[in-house]
Structure 1
């Protein structure tokens, strides 16, 4: 027999402790479930491939203060110098660096008229060496040629062709379409001559992160970003030689931010990593506090019922019956807490989704957390319950 009636009567006589335990369990379920959901989504995001061989790519910036220098011509010279460094596979000047959190994002349409129907995508400008430097996989069409590249100091001008990521062409044209099709940007037509399997733009955390369009255009200025692809085993050596090689050719400038693309990505994701660590600490703290709360409640109940336990033992109650009594009592408290916690979990999940655009909470996280709390309740009560079962009937009956 589970002795539900005396257990419920005992809980009603000790309302404060039971209510505190119920609220603690409900709060733990709500916070831990939503935290696990956020952690799972962030881990999936952090492990998502970008399409680039990040460990092979170097990025840096060049700041020039000489107005007499032809920036476009200097970029060509710098690319040639970089490619002469042993270990360099390819180098290119770019308008922005992927995965960095800084770049250009615009709306592209299927008609020259501004009908308000746009597909947003990140985009960057570079010459015909960009695809080889990025190390991405061209799955349809062709690469840029030197004849495609427009060298101009006016952004109002634009080339006739682009290369786009598959995510962009699938979004604007439909699955598996896009090669040879025309898109419009600023009213001008752009023919898609190549499609890349995967290219992440400058904002990996955003919804349109996999949409990127590359314009074959050079429009250098006093602040120029570069990408260099190297043999991964020689990347460290190449990084040491870049500044000296470029300054030897033109010392009137500053080379800054020489780092690997994986470092750029790591810096961009640093807030996500910090958030994951904080959530893990929060979950650990909540679980420990909940376990201690259940343990303390059981110990308190035992100290109040020492005489009752001794009387039951003297009347022939087995130790297993004493243990079962306290386990069932805590499971009742746990069940009430989990029911209230489920309601709180759904409410909190909806608030987080509306305020911070986190993904919808999956039911599986509520189930997993609830199951874990049930196991925690049982584990937390076993030791004090066994201790109560070992109380000597003669000692217990003499206690006040």
Structure 2
């Protein structure tokens, strides 16, 4: 019964109602897309590496002594590091760890025929070949990092090489599915253009040093190859509470064993710090997006509250007349809530269309994924709730207008 007078009132205030509708529409479009971008960033920074992150710490050591037997030095360093109180295990790797940015990758094919196809089309896309990250390290790497073997075994001592290429590898579950989607990867022989490499194990996850896209971020392989360069990354495993103490003692021990080395203070860090540094820009972006969304919702709430207060002030005599002829406070309260619901609903309908248009623009220029449909009803519920909360104060003041106002000339 209130719909006709509400619609009649809105037609008499077309400009004001239209402006508020547009404000709600733009808020809906922007907030839905911002919420999607925040969720995407949160998903990105929450990606698991497959390692026991809270137990790991790293030290990068670079020898400056010419003619030094690097592998003998690494062996002596590891022996000393493993003897430190609190160190559960220690290994050396050549390149980096997941999210550590320095990456080494190599084209790998499930067969020589797949490599021939890739060469014919001059691309690995559609050939069956992949370009996984290549990790190496000294014996004990799997256990030290906390990687979970889901098939096969760890490397045997006789499979580690100091020079040349290994003949076996351990790969991630994701890489196994990409290389051999229709059969068991364990026991298969990959081809890298020069040699066949037999798969002896499959780990659940082992993330890349640099994220690319969700479909290939877990494409990694581990070779049983001891580091032989002058620069090496020592990975220490300890209890989470012991990491800082272990790092300090390890740095001092390495310098005591061989002073002719450089230890970068910026590369003496826990893995938690490595992860935080990698995602620092994403965390900042999440904060900015969240603040902008809250600010936009706050401005919309102010607009709704301000308009409702203005209309209550204008309609005091009309409200008093309605109260005098029998309208209850509940009737007045529901009138303003219904009026606000209609305006916000019109804005939401238009906002959903704008949300899709904005998402298409972001997809074109910023490679953002398509906006999932479920963000729209969630955004609508948020704006409906916001609208009802924003109008509640003015509506309660309107409901409190006494009937005696009808007898006044104001």
Output the TM-score relative to the length of structure 2: 0.89
Query: Does structure 1 residue 317 correspond to structure 2 residue 327?
Result: yes
* Partner Cα separation in structure 1 for residue 105 and residue 30 of structure 2: 35
Residues 309 and 191 (structure 1), Cα distance of their counterparts in 2 relative to 1, 3 Å cut:
same
For the residue of structure 2 that corresponds to 1:259, the secondary structure is strand
1:1-400 mapped onto 2 (5 Å cutoff): 1-2=1-2, 4-94=3-93, 95-112=95-112, 113-116=115-118, 117=127, 118-152=129-163, 157-174=164-181, 177-204=184-211, 206-207=213-214, 208-256=216-264, 257-400=267-410
Q: 1:356: how far off?
A: 3.4
User: Residues 204 and 261 of structure 1: is their aligned pair in 2 closer, same or farther, counting only changes over 3 Å?
Assistant: farther
Q: How many aligned residue pairs are there?
A: 395
Q: What is the alpha-carbon root mean square deviation over aligned residues?
A: 2.2
Moved over 4 A (4+): none
Aligned residue for 2:186, secondary structure, equals: coil
Counterpart Cα distance in 1 of 2:337 and 2:159: 76
Distance 2:278 2:286 in 1: 14
Q: Using a 3 Å threshold, how does the CA distance of structure 1 residues 323 and 231 change in structure 2: closer, same or farther?
A: closer
Q: Report which stretch shifted further, 320-329 or 162-171.
A: 320-329
Once residues 70 and 399 of structure 1 are traced to their aligned partners in structure 2, the CA distance between those partners, rounded to angstroms, is 101
Which shows bigger deviation, 296-305 or 139-148?
A: 139-148
Contact 1:127–1:146 (CA<8 Å) still a contact in 2?
no
Cα pair distance change 1:234/1:319, threshold 3 Å:
closer
Gaps of 5+ in 2: 119-126
Contact 2:333 2:399 in 1 (8 A): yes
1:204: how far off? 4.7
Cα drift, residue 385 of structure 1? 1.8
SS at match of 1:82: helix
Give, in whole Å, the separation in 2 of the partners of 1:399 and 1:181: 93
Q: Which moved more, 1:373-382 or 1:71-80?
A: 71-80
TM-score by length of 1: 0.91
Contact map agreement 2:92 2:227 (CA 8 A) in 1: no
Gaps spanning 5+ residues in structure 1: where? none
